[in-house]
């Protein structure tokens, strides 16, 4: 074990020594023993605030195994790993973490705060993948009549798309149903179950949805990028 003089300034310590001390303190954390977070936090500080490449590499090396273990214990790990590799999730987590902390100029005061943020990033990355899984599940990849249709966002911003749809729907209840069905992905019966005071009868949700589809299809010239050219 390398000894560290207590009066040695953290910001002057060699990175390799910081890494070693950080590893030792992490072991203490795992044993639920009192640990000194300053060494790990100094690596975070140099990587994020100081933007030192070597510190960023050291941070990833030190904590990527932890991210991997969190991923393996994630309740949606199996589904997530069908979409991408473990290595890519770890890399994506550090990448998203880097952009977020850099944008907000975060300087963590405790190791718990830093690791909570890193864990939150991983959890978000996995959940975003699950969202895209749910989005693609309903639509065959090569739909006859709509081959290689670009995503809406490629031509119009998501918010702009929503505003166009809203402008075509005259009734507030239609707008609400369109939002709950298409944007939130609720089924008509789920809408009735979750919003019984607004929509007590599933038949009404079906009727409103028929009206919405008819209205959108009548305006397909304005929504070609959304509904395509195909006629059924």
217 near other proteins, judged by CB under 8 A: yes
Region of 145 on the Ramachandran plot (φ > 0 left; ψ -120 to 50 alpha; else beta): left
Site for other proteins in 146-185 (CB under 8 A): 146, 151-153, 158-159, 161-162, 179-185
232 near other proteins, judged by CB under 8 A: yes
Per CB under 8 A, the segment of 4-12, 38-46, 167-175, 222-230 that binds other proteins is: 222-230
Residue with tokens 């919405």: 212
Site for other proteins in 18-77 (CB under 8 A): 23, 26-27, 29-30, 60-62, 64-66, 68-70, 72-73
139 near other proteins, judged by CB under 8 A: yes
DSSP 160-177: HHHHHHHHH--SHHHHHH
202 near other proteins, judged by CB under 8 A: yes
Pick 4 or 68: Cβ nearer other proteins: 68
Residue 208, Cβ neighbours under 10 Å: how many? 22
Pick 13 or 164: Cβ nearer other proteins: 164
**Residue of 49, 38, 52 whose CA lies nearest to 10:** 38
Least distance between other proteins and beta carbon 7 (Å): 28
* Those residues with Cβ within 8 angstroms of residue 134's Cβ, 6 or more apart along the chain or in another chain: 185
145 near other proteins, judged by CB under 8 A: yes
Pick 159 or 172: Cβ nearer other proteins: 159
Tokens of 43: 């690596």
Pick 12 or 231: Cβ nearer other proteins: 231
The binder of other proteins chosen from 10, 91, 164, 227 (CB under 8 A): 227
Site string for other proteins, 96-135 (x = CB under 8 A): x---x---x-x-----x--xxx-xxx-xxxxxx-xx--xx
Least distance between other proteins and beta carbon 153 (Å): 7
* Those residues with Cβ within 8 angstroms of residue 176's Cβ, 6 or more apart along the chain or in another chain: 198
**Residue of 227, 231, 203 whose CA lies nearest to 216:** 227
Least distance between other proteins and beta carbon 186 (Å): 7
Residue 78, Cβ neighbours under 10 Å: how many? 8
Query: What are the φ and ψ backbone dihedral angles of 220, each rounded to 5 degrees?
Result: -65, -20
């Amino acid at each position: 074990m390398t000894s560290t003089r207590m009066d040695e300034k953290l910001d002057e310590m060699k990175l390799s020594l910081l890494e070693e001390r950080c590893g030792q303190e992490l072991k203490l954390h795992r044993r639920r023993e009192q640990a000194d977070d300053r060494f790990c936090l100094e690596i975070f500080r140099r990587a994020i605030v100081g933007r030192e490449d070597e510190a960023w590499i050291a941070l990833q090396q030190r904590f990527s195994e932890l991210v991997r273990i969190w991923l393996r214990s994630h309740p949606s790990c199996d589904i997530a790993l069908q979409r991408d590799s473990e290595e890519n999730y770890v890399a994506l987590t550090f990448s998203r973490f880097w952009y977020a902390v850099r944008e907000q100029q975060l300087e963590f005061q405790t190791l718990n705060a830093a690791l909570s943020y890193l864990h939150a990033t991983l959890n978000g990355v996995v959940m975003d993948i699950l969202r895209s899984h749910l989005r693609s599940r309903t639509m065959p990849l090569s739909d006859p009549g709509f081959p290689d249709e670009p995503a809406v966002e490629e031509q119009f911003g998501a918010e702009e798309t929503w505003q166009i749809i809203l402008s075509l729907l005259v009734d507030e209840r239609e707008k609400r149903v369109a939002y709950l069905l298409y944007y939130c992905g609720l089924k008509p019966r789920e809408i009735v179950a979750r919003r019984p005071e607004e929509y007590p009868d599933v038949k009404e949700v079906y009727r409103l949805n028929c009206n919405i589809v008819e209205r959108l299809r009548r305006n397909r010239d304005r929504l070609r990028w959304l509904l395509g050219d195909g006629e059924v």
